[in-house]
Amino acid sequence: MKLEGKKIGFGITGSYCTILEIIEPLKKLKAQGADIFPVVSENVFEHSSRFHDKDTFLKTLEEITGNKPISTINEAETFGPDNPMDTMIIAPATGNTIAKLANGISDGPVLLATKATLRNGSPVLLALFSNDALGMNGMNITKLYNTKNFFFVPFGQDNPTKKPASMTADLSLLEEALAHALEGRQIQPSIIAHK
């Protein structure tokens, strides 16, 4: 898939144990010619974790994309009429992010950039990472699955024995899922068995 000339908003939310897994997909999208605008949640911008150092991570995002990460609502608002995206990807998309999107809440930079992208009629691709996907958050996931312009990277249970309600996206399928989303289609199967 060639993404030459495509403007992609790439939202990153606070699933800290998986946050570094998005580096390779980002590099692949950039290699396809995409112009990527990273958008980070307040938690990603402000906090390191035992899995990553925030300053190193933010610097890496800028080095890969060539764009400074957007970290405020004011900056994210430009995704509306001033700087429209061809698509918005959220990876990782946490259960909290999914719940807010499903209920029309846009109280942070990633959520507002997503709202602006939807307002422009462009697709949003979600790479779900939620410990509660088969719990209370299940209804939010299915609500978005059935909402116009929302699409999912295929996802499945990542550890059914120890975390039976947890589901995560297969990031190796992100590019293919994006190609489908840009055509207005959900990649199938959307629910998979992890290898």
| pLDDT tens by residue, the chain, 195 residues | 678 989 999 999 987 778 889 999 999 999 999 999 999 998 888 877 777 788 899 999 999 999 999 999 999 998 988 889 999 999 999 999 999 999 999 999 999 999 999 999 999 999 999 999 999 999 999 999 999 999 999 999 999 999 999 999 999 999 999 999 999 999 999 999 987
Q: What is residue 46's predicted lDDT score, i.e. its pLDDT?
A: 80
Distances (CA, A) of 110 to 11, 36, 54, 94, 135: 5, 14, 17, 11, 24
Residue 118 pLDDT? 96
pLDDT at 73: 94
Query: Residue 124 forms beta bridges with which residues?
Result: 88, 150
Question: Within 13 A of 42's CA, how many CA atoms are on the CB side?
Answer: 8
The pLDDT value recorded for residue 53 is 83
The per-residue pLDDT for 94 is 94
* Cα–Cα distance for residue pair 3/154, rounded to 1 Å: 20
Q: What is the pLDDT of residue 71?
A: 95
Residues 6+ apart with CB under 8 A from 33: 2, 3, 4, 5, 6
User: Distance between CA 133 and CA 168 in Å, rounded?
Assistant: 9
- pLDDT value at residue 15: 74
Note the pLDDT of residue 1: 66
pLDDT at position 18 is: 81
Per-residue pLDDT at 28:
95
